[in-house]
């Protein structure tokens, strides 16, 4: 056993092979030039997809290590809404690099040190110079710039622009004010199933956005009503039943039976009449109602929609703040107070299907709108809907930050605790985090202020005529922060002084001298990656990180950390390589050389594309991959003990540890 444990190295090539096979399976669907896969379910359904999670699931992997890889890729995607395919490609490249470097437990330990000593520095000090910050309200142009590249990785080339427009339009209409956007994105991501309807057989160009919500079933009873109307939610049948499952109704005489039936009829009529007298014009029921209820509803001018799905009921409750009505209380005739208000309620023909279209008046900031997705086949609509839903998840990630964990002194054992602080939610817990940051970093703050002063003088030397405009810019930056979140202002004001300057400094003269680079490198702020940081799309993140990892690896004394740094830095390039795969042969090399040359000369990057991507998501990807590699290399030991592979399923691997 001990001998087996001491030989984990032969497993690395196998891990790498499995990862490479997985990467080979998803690489074809990666990036804007990737193709689609057609998944055939056992039921005969054909679903086109480019979603990494679905692809990995469809492969039904057998080897346990590959299953772990796929599971980690999927959980990363579930958290950030993006990146399952890149995850696998990067993972394969890192494993390949480690294998080439000889593997060994030393490298595995060095992975952790690398993360703390090199990766975080590269992100905080290197990458920082290049990213831009999206304003909290997400203006529509910025929204499209983020959505289009995201959808480019998920949809066919002919569909992405139209859908990005639709998606941005939907965000704008659901949240007309910038303050309502986070709430709207949250609702859209969570309730998208009830906020869209698909029509197969029509071209994509027929897709549209309708105000209100669309229920995909016909009216059970429809009574046209003008103007605003009150709607009631119910979850049980309104007609009292004679018997129920397990209940026996004993008939003594014909008279008794007739009287019971008459009572049921009268009671139902009275109930519907009661609705009418409370001016309820629309009944929304999650269960099927008896024909008698429908009949009386028609007579008393109440429209009825039955069999609402639970998610539709939940959505309606959420946007109107109304809970379902229980008719069988002690007093049937009490006033009905909990009604939703709808500005209209009408039939809608979607394709050849009759639907119900209701314009609810929202009690929250979210203005309900429904996306009508058209496509030639159901599978395409399904693909579009899934991509859009995850796009909303991705947009939510944009405003998360990665906190820097103290100083880089903590080696080895320090786990990456990238606590997600969403700067939008001004919840008490978040306040606390901010306060803590201030208190514990008070030394840093003063240090930072000092640094700011020195930086300011430095920039004055660099560009003396522009110093006033610099200060202006810095001010406007602070006020922007002020406007976005009053709770964090104190912290931001204190911490962002140096940062603001640094940014402006970079904008004008991107670190011309080595000094300035070092000067900034000592700058500390509360977060590693700020909320709303974005970079141009198309491999820039990877090349920048590659460059800065190499830069900071040179300062590192440990040789094994340096080896790992080189492995990760080279592995990062596998993503842009895969992106440029289908174009001309040497296009990646050209792109790489151009980017690295301008980095060396401190020139702005040759970014001409309008698309943007979230730095948070990308950084998380790298961190997750490194964790996965660490995990795989650790698990490797356990697998090494078991001789036959089949036994793994029989024993609980934890027991042997």
User: Rule CB under 8 A: which of 368-427 touch another protein?
Assistant: 375-380
174 to 233, contacts with another protein by CB under 8 A? Answer: 199-206, 224
139 to 178, contacts with another protein by CB under 8 A? Answer: 156-158
CB of 135 to another protein, least distance (A): 28
CB of 160 to another protein, least distance (A): 10
Looking at beta carbons only, is 357 or 618 nearer to another protein? Answer: 357
234 to 253, contacts with another protein by CB under 8 A? Answer: 241-253
Looking at beta carbons only, is 162 or 173 nearer to another protein? Answer: 162
DSSP codes, 124-168: IIIGGGT-EE--TT--HHHHHHHHHHHHHTTS-TTTHHHHHHHHH
CB of 286 to another protein, least distance (A): 18
Is 428 a residue that touches another protein (CB under 8 A)?
no
CB of 274 to another protein, least distance (A): 16
x/- contact string, 11-40, with another protein (CB under 8 A)? --------------x--xx--xxxxxxxxx
CB of 591 to another protein, least distance (A): 14
DSSP-derived secondary structure letter, 325: B
x/- contact string, 63-82, with another protein (CB under 8 A)? --------------------
Looking at beta carbons only, is 263 or 334 nearer to another protein? Answer: 263
Binder among 228, 258, 515, 656 for another protein (CB under 8 A): 258
CB of 21 to another protein, least distance (A): 11
Q: What is the CA radius of gyration of the chain?
A: 30
Looking at beta carbons only, is 150 or 424 nearer to another protein? Answer: 150
Looking at beta carbons only, is 149 or 498 nearer to another protein? Answer: 149
CB contact at 8 A, 209 and 166: yes
279 to 298, contacts with another protein by CB under 8 A? Answer: 290-292, 294-295, 298
End-to-end Cα separation, the chain, in angstroms: 11
Helices 140-152 and 378-397: crossing angle, nearest 10°? 120
CB of 372 to another protein, least distance (A): 13
Torsion angle (degrees, nearest 10) of CA 239, 245, 250, 254: 40
173-211: b or e for each residue (b if 16 or more CB lie within 10 Å)?
Answer: bbbeeeebbbbbbbbbbbbbebbbbbbeebebeebebbb
Nearest to 390 by CA among 162, 91, 60, 50: 50
Q: Which two tokens stand for residue 595?
A: 């980017």
555 to 614, contacts with another protein by CB under 8 A? Answer: 582
298 to 327, contacts with another protein by CB under 8 A? Answer: 298-299
Give me the phi and psi of 605, to 5 degrees please.
-65, 150
CB of 215 to another protein, least distance (A): 19
CB contact at 8 A, 388 and 82: no
**Whole-angstrom distance, CA of residue 182 vs CA of residue 426:** 12
CB of 122 to another protein, least distance (A): 32
- What are the residues facing 232 on neighbouring strands? 283
Torsion 395-396-397-398 (CA) sign: positive
**Whole-angstrom distance, CA of residue 365 vs CA of residue 13:** 54
Looking at beta carbons only, is 285 or 320 nearer to another protein? Answer: 285
CB of 355 to another protein, least distance (A): 15
In angstroms, how far is CA 555 from the centroid of its own chain?
A: 36
Looking at beta carbons only, is 43 or 643 nearer to another protein? Answer: 43
Looking at beta carbons only, is 257 or 333 nearer to another protein? Answer: 257
CB of 479 to another protein, least distance (A): 38
Looking at beta carbons only, is 439 or 608 nearer to another protein? Answer: 608
336 to 355, contacts with another protein by CB under 8 A? Answer: 346, 351-352
Is 60 a residue that touches another protein (CB under 8 A)?
yes
Binder among 46, 78, 461, 482 for another protein (CB under 8 A): 46
CB of 328 to another protein, least distance (A): 17
Nearest to 463 by CA among 412, 531, 513: 513
User: Cβ neighbours of residue 439 under 8 Å, at least 6 residues apart?
Assistant: none
Total of chain residues touching another protein, rule CB under 8 A: 73
User: Cβ neighbours of residue 536 under 8 Å, at least 6 residues apart?
Assistant: 605, 607, 609, 611, 612, 613
Looking at beta carbons only, is 269 or 403 nearer to another protein? Answer: 269
**Whole-angstrom distance, CA of residue 441 vs CA of residue 437:** 6
Looking at beta carbons only, is 89 or 398 nearer to another protein? Answer: 89
User: Cβ neighbours of residue 260 under 8 Å, at least 6 residues apart?
Assistant: 242, 249
């Amino acid at each position: 056993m001990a001998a087996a444990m001491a030989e984990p190295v032969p497993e690395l090539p196998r891990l790498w092979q499995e990862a490479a096979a997985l990467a080979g399976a998803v690489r074809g669907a990666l990036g804007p030039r990737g193709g689609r896969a057609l998944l055939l379910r056992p039921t005969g359904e054909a679903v086109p997809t480019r979603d990494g999670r679905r692809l990995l699931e469809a492969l039904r992997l057998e080897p346990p290590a590959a299953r772990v890889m796929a599971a980690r890729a999927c959980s990363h995607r579930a958290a950030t809404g993006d990146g399952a395919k890149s995850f696998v490609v990067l993972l394969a490249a890192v494993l390949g690099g480690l294998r080439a470097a000889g593997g060994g437990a030393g490298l595995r330990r060095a992975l952790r040190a690398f993360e703390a000593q090199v990766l975080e520095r590269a992100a905080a000090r290197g990458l920082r110079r290049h990213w831009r910050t999206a304003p909290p309200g997400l203006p529509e142009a910025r929204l499209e710039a983020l959505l289009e590249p995201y959808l480019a990785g998920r949809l066919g080339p002919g569909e992405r622009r139209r859908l990005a427009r639709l998606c941005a339009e939907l965000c704008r209409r659901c949240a007309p004010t910038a303050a309502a956007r986070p709430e709207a994105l949250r609702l859209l991501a969570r309730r998208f199933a009830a906020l869209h309807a698909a029509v197969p057989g029509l071209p994509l160009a027929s897709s549209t956005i309708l105000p209100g919500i669309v229920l995909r079933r016909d009216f059970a009873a429809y009574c046209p009503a003008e103007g605003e109307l009150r709607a009631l939610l119910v979850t049980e049948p309104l007609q009292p039943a004679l018997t129920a499952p397990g209940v026996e109704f004993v008939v003594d005489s014909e008279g008794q039976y007739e009287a019971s039936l008459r009572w049921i009829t009268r009671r139902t009529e009275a109930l519907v009449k009661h609705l009418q007298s409370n001016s309820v014009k629309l009944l929304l029921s999650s269960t099927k109602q008896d024909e008698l209820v429908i009949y009386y509803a028609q007579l008393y001018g109440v429209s009825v929609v039955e069999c609402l799905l639970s998610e539709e009921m939940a959505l309606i409750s959420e946007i109107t703040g109304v809970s379902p009505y229980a008719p069988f209380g002690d007093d049937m005739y009490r006033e009905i107070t909990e009604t939703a208000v709808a500005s209209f309620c009408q039939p809608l023909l979607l394709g050849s299907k009759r639907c119900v279209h209701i314009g609810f008046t929202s009690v929250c900031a979210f203005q309900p709108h429904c996306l009508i997705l058209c496509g030639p086949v159901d599978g395409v609509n399904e693909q579009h809907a899934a991509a859009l839903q995850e796009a909303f998840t991705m947009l939510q990630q944009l405003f998360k930050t990665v906190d820097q964990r103290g100083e880089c002194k903590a080696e080895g054992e320090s786990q990456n605790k990238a606590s997600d602080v969403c700067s939008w939610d001004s919840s008490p817990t978040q306040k606390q985090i901010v306060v803590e940051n201030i208190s514990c970093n008070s030394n840093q703050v003063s240090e930072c202020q000092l640094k700011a002063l020195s930086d300011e003088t430095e920039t004055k030397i660099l560009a003396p005529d522009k110093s006033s405009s610099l200060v202006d810019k810095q001010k406007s930056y602070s006020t922007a922060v002020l406007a976005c979140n009053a709770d964090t202002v104190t912290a931001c004001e204190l911490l962002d002084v140096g940062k603001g300057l640094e940014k402006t400094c970079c904008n004008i003269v991107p670190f011309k001298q080595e000094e300035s680079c070092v000067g900034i490198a000592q700058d500390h702020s509360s977060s590693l990656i700020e909320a709303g940081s974005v970079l141009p799309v198309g491999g820039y993140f990877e090349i920048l990180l590659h460059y800065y990892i190499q830069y900071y690896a040179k300062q590192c004394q440990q040789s094994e950390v340096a080896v790992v740094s080189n492995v990760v830095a080279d592995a990062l390039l596998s993503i842009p390589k895969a992106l440029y795969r289908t174009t001309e042969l040497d296009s990646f090399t050209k792109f790489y050389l151009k980017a690295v040359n301008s980095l060396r000369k401190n020139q702005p990057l040759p970014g001409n594309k309008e698309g943007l991507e979230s730095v948070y998501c990308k950084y998380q990807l790298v961190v997750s991959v490194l964790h996965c590699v660490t995990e795989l290399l650790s698990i490797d030991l356990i697998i090494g003990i078991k001789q036959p592979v089949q036994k793994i399923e029989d024993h609980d691997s934890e027991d042997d540890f």
